[in-house]
Amino acid sequence: MCTRNPSLLTAAALLAAPLGLTLLAGSGPRPAAAGDALPQLFPSWTNVRANCTGHGRKIRCRLKGKISVVNDGNAASGPCQLDIWVSRDDTLDPKVDTKIKTLGVPVVPAGEETKLDFSFSAPKGTKVLKRQLIAVVDPDNVVAESDETDNEEAIGPLR
């Protein structure tokens, strides 16, 4: 392991430096310091509409909306994904919330945004009214960002 062999740790750090990464002992690669050129992605809901017909177990809902992925950083992002979840509240809990859609996010230049359209037809009887939608950009953390804690945005409750 690198943490027990200083020469391996030094070699790994030298390899990581040109890529803008800092190697911390025992932790693997991490994003470079905040002053370095990094993207900063976050989702921003534009609008969401729920169109439902029927009642109770026979209710059928179609969701349609727009969401922006904003890059507030000082470097272009790489491509990634955006997941949309249905939740009872505005806090994502993958154990109880339901992922309903995954969208591809293209490269977003620094200081710009890209708008994504989505639609979803809920299976008959699925509860979406009075629920929140939560968008999570870059859920697998494939894009190194200056702040990985602001990748979620909730909207709702849906009516």
Q: Which residue has the higher pLDDT, 36 or 136?
A: 136
User: Please, what is the average pLDDT of the chain?
Assistant: 83
Do 95 and 23 share a structural domain?
no
Q: Which domain holds residue 7?
A: 1-32
The pLDDT value recorded for residue 36 is 76
Query: Do residue 28 and residue 45 come from a single domain?
Result: no
Question: Can you give the pLDDT at residue 32?
Answer: 44
Same domain, 70 and 91: yes
For residue range 53-63, what is the model confidence (pLDDT) as tens digits? 988 888 899 99
Residues 49 and 126 in one domain: yes
Average pLDDT score over residue span 144-148: 91
Q: Are residues 27 and 53 in the same domain?
A: no
Which pTM value belongs to this model? 0.76
Mean pLDDT to the nearest integer, 110-138: 94
At 6 the pLDDT is 38
Residue 90 one-letter amino acid: D
Are 21 and 84 found together in one domain?
A: no
Same domain, residue pair 87 and 23? no
Overall average pLDDT of the 67-80 stretch? 96
- pLDDT value of residue 33: 54
Q: What is the domain count for the chain?
A: 2
pLDDT at 44 over 70: yes
pLDDT of residue 35: 62
- DSSP structure string for the chain: -TTT-HHHHHHHHHHHGGGTEEEETTTEEEE--TTS----EEEEEEEEEEEEES-GGG-EEEEEEEEEEEE-SSSPPPPEEEEEEEESSSS--TTTSEEEEEEEE----TT-EEEEEEEEEPPTT---TT-EEEEEESTT--S--S-TT--EEEE----
CB 92 within 8 A of CB 85: yes
Average pLDDT over every residue of 104-119: 97
Taking 70 as the threshold, does the pLDDT of residue 23 lie above it? no
Reported confidence tier of residue 70, pLDDT bands at 50, 70, 90: very high
